[in-house]
Chain A
Amino acid sequence: MNITLKVWRQKGPNQVGAMETHKMTEVSGDMSFLEMMDVLNGNLIREGKEPFAFDHDCREGICGSCSMFINGEAHGPGRNVTTCQLHMRSFKDGETIHVEPWRSAAFPVIKDLSVDRSSFDRIIQAGGYVSVNTSGETIDANAIPIPKHDADQAFDAATCIGCGACVATCKNSSAMLFVSAKVSQLSLLPQGKPESKQRVIRMVDQMDLEGFGNCTNTGACEVECPKGISITNIARMNRAFLSSNLTSK
């Protein structure tokens, strides 16, 4: 099939960017979106032009590197998939496709489609862990039975890949889905409970410090999340945040 691409070109963080148009022919429906971008980049290099920079690594939907805003949607039109798992069969012959980077003040553009998401790392560093040393001298793994339901819910929250689609999608650039997924995972498990009060406060504080916006419950993040993380987690975090603020010393 033939497609027309309009791709964001931006030399650096403080430069002005613009959309650039490229025609693509002989695109196969079995190509992933990133493989199509590889072909485009190969063509550009052969023509002596600069290829588009974009983040990608595992190309199987789990590392969370890829981050393209395609036709106005984070990771494009597919549901529960990342850009690397989006295939060209999702588009029509002759279609014009707009490709942009994640846009958020907390995710500054590095170049073209590549953005800096280290703000997510700093939120985890603020408290997204259990304070246990790695000596291995803990109790036996089966010493504390965990109800399957809780374990499954914790797992569902833990499947977040930290890609940032929730932020890119949100009109407020809120990171509530990301933060609440980690808060939920750890607060649902007995191992995470002792620190749950401080954790939620610290992580939310850091989130605000990084410049992410507020949550107005539009639910767009849940729709665009490639891992189907539920906004129930946001509700859980809001409860935890409120009660922690009222009760923590």
Chain B
Amino acid sequence: MLDSRIPEGPLAEKWNTHKDNIRLVNPANKRDIDIIVVGTGLAGSSAAASLAELGYNVKSLCFQDSPRRAHSIAAQGGINASKNYQNDGDSVYRLFYDTVKGGDYRSREANVHRLAEVSSNIIDQCVAQGVPFAREYGGLLDNRSFGGVQVSRTFYAKGQTGQQLLLGAYSALSRQISKGKVEMLNRHEMMEVVKVDGKARGIIARNLVTGEIERHSAHAVVLCTGGYGNAFYLSTNAMGSNVSAAWKAHKQGSFFANPCFTQIHPTCIPVSGHYQSKLTLMSESLRNDGRIWVPKSKDDVEAILNGSKLPTDLKEEERDYYLERRYPAFGNLVPRDVASRAAKERCDAGFGVNKTGHAVYLDFASAFVRYGKTEALTRGIQNPSDETIVELGREVIKSKYGNLFDMYKQITDDNPYETPMMIYPAVHYTMGGLWVDYNLMTTVPGLFAAGEANFSDHGANRLGASALMQGLADGYFVLPYTIGDYLADDIRTGKISTETQEFDAAEKKVKDEIQALISNNGDTPVDDFHRRLGLIMWEKCGMARNEKDLKQAIAEIQELRKEFHSNVLVPGSENAFNPELEKATRLADFLELGEAMCLDALTRAESCGGHFREESQTPDGEALRDDENYTFVSAWEYTGTPSEAKLHKEDLIYDNIELKQRSYK
């Protein structure tokens, strides 16, 4: 039943062969075809702009007040591309290999190779749009290195790469809006997919300002609605990031793939109090220059906690640079899943360095000295003092990561130029998502998913700087080709009417759901339920998972969901701007998704990437994959209750890569 439609032929030729063979829609016919794109992050903006340039009529929706605010904007570190500008041995194959290995061999070879192939084009495209990437003095583009790889292939714009790339895509989108080729609907949220004869033919949306429920029809619907990390309540996602569009699609027949594959990012600012609403990431790029450590002895931990010692008082030999100790080949630049688990291991063992016991140090002291010495030489300063060296080094670090250091200081009230940062892992990205074939189409014909909303490229763990790459690759260079293959059948269909019983039924369902929430008369605000869901997910389906906890979590979530529907209090009216109602409709879906995530985690009794099953580990505590039994994608079919979903397996076939236990030692 699952047909991934991977083209025949050698890996490196699949994409070109596919492009040469898929069907096209001629320019005159494109003018008669409507496409809805939901979401305006990197994937959504780039897809909407590109499809409009090709000639389709595009309708684009975002729940934010402007398409420029989608959460791609918060990506910090950079975007990968196999340009090999640094001449350090990079190539399409190596980027492909690193991504498959980094994903712990749970992604699709053909999709990842295509991603690596188009990566170079992305950089060319963005530069042509006026994206101000970092440059060297010679005027050429600068690169830095990121976790899990041994080359420097990451392009960046200080710590604001996501913002600059998104504004590039937003500008392309704005250009099409001005030409009337994209109709932009700000502050609109998709509430339901409408299917006609089994095909996606439109959506029901809510105008968030007026509360009006609207019908929009199209020949195809593209979901670029991001990830579902907010199932954990506390995550690095934006407050509005949600799973609803993807979940509604799932309930309409799109299979949901690998929902348990969640990325816990190792370098976030630790939780400070119960009122906490979100967690803030400190870019992975900081691990290029920062060294992660905890004290070697618990006496020193104690002394730091009671204030009798400062972290800077500890001598080198009193510090445990545990990543360098355990993984000498990659050191502080091991992939995210490995770094996160290592931090948890040290903190669980009692070496956490803040009051909650959930923090480790990220220290730049040696980078100050290293850069300071180089800078002194460049400036011709003879016999510089140690203070001068550190001062010069701080300036260099400031030019590289200034905004991140400022942000850290603002949030914690600590100065990271003087004392090491404190960090701890937090939920960041979700590799799972809607199952899609090679054309990025879900199991519902005409319903596509791109960017973080789909599952295909990152396996069980995403490498740093690859999310931006995938979002733009899907939107600029993949979907505009592959969607034509589907739409070629629609050139004679004509306008899709919204006055049909399918739209009537979908609209009624949405209105009923909203009515039930708003007239519930409970006594507990939405956020209380969301926090409780987050706690269950974090404790039982977070960095380490086991059978007993997962089973318990499923029961607890079911209970919580019942309580939510009987006891939630949503103030205000459905016919007005009502942010609490928005939160409630989104949480209703998270409460179902959470159960699906736990079921998926329970079914996959191996450890792989971000999914660590305590039952499956090596004697020294590393994740132990079980290739014999689990080299497949879990694609779940909704049957009415999340924990009774039906499992379909897409076997993963590796013709070009030998499966190995990942080692970064």
Contacts and interface: CB of A to CB of B under 8 A. Distances in A.
B124 interface: yes
Interface residues of A, number: 81
Given A121-B174, A162-B66, A58 B73 contact: yes
A159 B69 contact: no
A59 B123 contact: no
B413 A87 contact: yes
A140 B162 CA distance: 21
Given A61-B407, A81-B410, A124 B130 contact: no
A65 B177 CA distance: 21
Interface string B213-252: 0000000000000000000000010111000000000000
A58 to B, nearest CB: 4
B400 to A, nearest CB: 13
B134 interface: yes
Contacts, number: 222
B421 to A, nearest CB: 15
B65 A65 contact: yes
Contact of B579 (A29, A34, A53, A155): A53
Interface residues of B, number: 84
A245 interface: no
A185 B130 CA distance: 8
B328 interface: no
Nearest to A161: B163
A139 B238 contact: no
Contacts of B134: 151, 155
B477 A136 contact: yes
A148 B137 contact: yes
A49 B64 CA distance: 25
Nearest to A56: B239
Interface in A49-65: 49-51, 53, 55-65
B273 A31 contact: yes
A197 to B, nearest CB: 16
Contacts of A56: 239
Interface string A110-143: 1100101110110011101111111111111110
B74 to A, nearest CB: 5
Nearest to A127: B178
A41 B527 CA distance: 10
B91 interface: no
Contact of A59 (B163, B238, B477): B238
A34 to B, nearest CB: 7
A28 B273 contact: yes
Contacts of B71: 57-58, 63
Given A49-B571, A121-B66, A129-B172, A34 B277 contact: yes
A158 interface: yes
B268 to A, nearest CB: 11
A191 interface: yes
Nearest to B140: A142
B572 interface: yes
Decide if the interface of chain A is mainly helix, strand, loop or mixed.
loop
A89 B73 contact: no
B64 A57 contact: yes
A126 B132 contact: no
Interface string B162-198: 1110010011101101100000101000000000000
Nearest to B52: A134
Given A45-B571, A129-B172, A133-B53, A59 B46 contact: no
A168 B574 CA distance: 30
A134 B132 contact: no
Interface in B54-91: 64-69, 71, 73-74, 83, 85
Interface in B521-536: 523, 525, 527-528
B410 A146 contact: no
A138 B523 contact: no
Contacts of B164: 155, 158
A184 to B, nearest CB: 11
B129 A63 contact: no
B158 interface: yes
Contacts of A130: 128-130, 171
A8 to B, nearest CB: 15
Contacts of B118: 136
A145 B175 contact: no
12 contacts: A30-B272, A34-B277, A39-B275, A50-B572, A63-B64, A78-B410, A120-B66, A121-B177, A121-B184, A128-B171, A139-B124, A139-B128
Given A111-B576, A141-B126, A186-B130, 8 more contacts: A35-B277, A38-B527, A42-B528, A85-B407, A121-B184, A129-B175, A147-B139, A148-B137
